[in-house]
Structure 1
């Protein structure tokens, strides 16, 4: 089942009744809207004048819904996730903590290789030369010791957005703001799936910054980033002014959740695929499997 994403940019009161999310607007002439909570995947609250009842927050957490809060720049700045995501959470977190360094390096090798392949596939769909990227993907070593990820990025970005002066940086010029927004949504989807698989999104296999609360999410989302890049490229090529983060653009980027992807020969939505990825991650940490399942861009 395809989950729905809800976006609130105007003042509203969010509550719950009979398993439904109820949206009540301050204007008396606007009728309340209801949405089944079980149908919701993510909620994005952009307006600073949206109020949510604690009962609704509890219901959303019980159903594993990711709730994003935005700052005054309209960028996602906070994420509400359930504390308990799996019946065997304690055992799974212990397995996560006990993972050896060689295992983590092997998992990062797989992750970087999958990311480079998807970047190459996206460029190839735009008739760019990418044979060197496919070669780099095969040459990634344990822990990516030779930093093939950075080499691929240096080749990838100038060809994806081929105009003078573009550099991929969170504080950079357009369309960096579109990439930032899409990656924030993807990060939340990844963190949601990690929690659902009984692990902590904080403890990364590569990202270990002590100030980063989503290190593992930042690791696992890497091969999924090109799917966001593809959505941003659609906006850039649409002919519209992409320098302003308009509502239509946000809705388009939130569509990443229901985007079709191919994983292990099966087509599914990205949100479903992410859950399969994090489940395979745990199997790898537990020694049940040796491979993380990542989607391929086609």
Structure 2
């Protein structure tokens, strides 16, 4: 079953009734909609006048739903996940903690290679020059010690958008990309928890102030799927505003089809395939992380 992304952008009271998320108007008390909690993957709260019951929060956490709260700029600000997302949690953490540095360096090499491969595929899809990316991908070393990821990214952004520099607080469409990446990060963090691992322990990212280092690692090959959504949106609509229409388009990322492990699956399901394969790499059952192919 394909899980749903629910976006709440108006004053609302959210409660639970008969295992359903109920959206109620706080003034008229009228019911604006209901959704089975078990159908939800991600709930985004994008208004200061949203009230949510603790009973509903507990039910959402029990179903491993990622609850995202947005700030005054309407960008994802906070993420709530259950503390335990797998029945073998302590056992799985032991394998994650025991992963050797050589293994993590090889896993990061695979991650960078697939990210560059997907970046090239997106450029090819839009008839843009991509030849150098093949060379960058083929020369990634263990641990990416020569920073092929960064070199490839500099080239990629110059080709994808005209006169564009990818910066967190840069000009448009950085605003759309930031929103998309924040949502993607939440989806990946949720999958990591559901696979019984700690999102704070990365294979490459190690910033002591970052509680989602592993999510930032694993999301890298998925970023071009966000880029694809943003690129198609701005080209089709000539709109760079992060309005409700743009958010609705970007939030479809969870259900967009991707190719992974020889199958076509919604991105939301593919991410869980990736995190499950990562755990098997930690245990020695697999030697390769399963990442999606952009086509």
- Name the TM-score, length of structure 2 as normaliser: 0.98
Deviations 1:105-148 (A, max 9, x none): 00000000000000000000111222321222121110001110
Q: What is the Cα deviation at residue 32 of structure 1? A: 4.1
Note closer, same or farther for the CA distance 1:29–1:103 as it changes in structure 2 (3 Å cut).
closer
1:22 maps to what in 2?
A: 22
2:9 maps to what in 1?
A: 9
1:255 pairs with one of 243, 252, 256: 252
> Does residue 152 of structure 2 align to residue 191 of structure 1?
no
**5+ long unaligned stretches in structure 1:** none
1:294 maps to what in 2?
A: 291
Mapped to 2, the partners of 1:183 and 1:278 lie a distance apart of 17
Mapped to 2, the partners of 1:19 and 1:30 lie a distance apart of 19
SS of corresponding position for 2:292: coil
Deviations 1:181-215 (A, max 9, x none): 00000000000000000000010000000000100
Deviations 1:226-251 (A, max 9, x none): 00000000111013321x21001011
> Does residue 232 of structure 2 align to residue 234 of structure 1?
yes
2:205 pairs with one of 196, 204, 207: 207
Number of matched residues?
Answer: 295
Mapped to 2, the partners of 1:186 and 1:69 lie a distance apart of 14
Q: What is the Cα deviation at residue 29 of structure 1? A: 7.0
- Name the TM-score, length of structure 1 as normaliser: 0.97
Mapped to 1, the partners of 2:65 and 2:29 lie a distance apart of 30
1:220 maps to what in 2?
A: 218
Aligned ranges 1:30-179 → 2 under 5 Å: 30-162=30-162, 164=163, 166-179=164-177
Q: What is the Cα deviation at residue 100 of structure 1? A: 0.6
**5+ long unaligned stretches in structure 2:** none
RMSD: 1.0
SS of corresponding position for 1:22: strand
SS of corresponding position for 1:238: helix
Mapped to 2, the partners of 1:138 and 1:91 lie a distance apart of 36
Deviations 1:140-161 (A, max 9, x none): 1100011100110111001100
Deviations 1:26-53 (A, max 9, x none): 2327434211111111100010110110
Q: Is the 8 A contact 2:129 2:159 kept in 1?
A: no
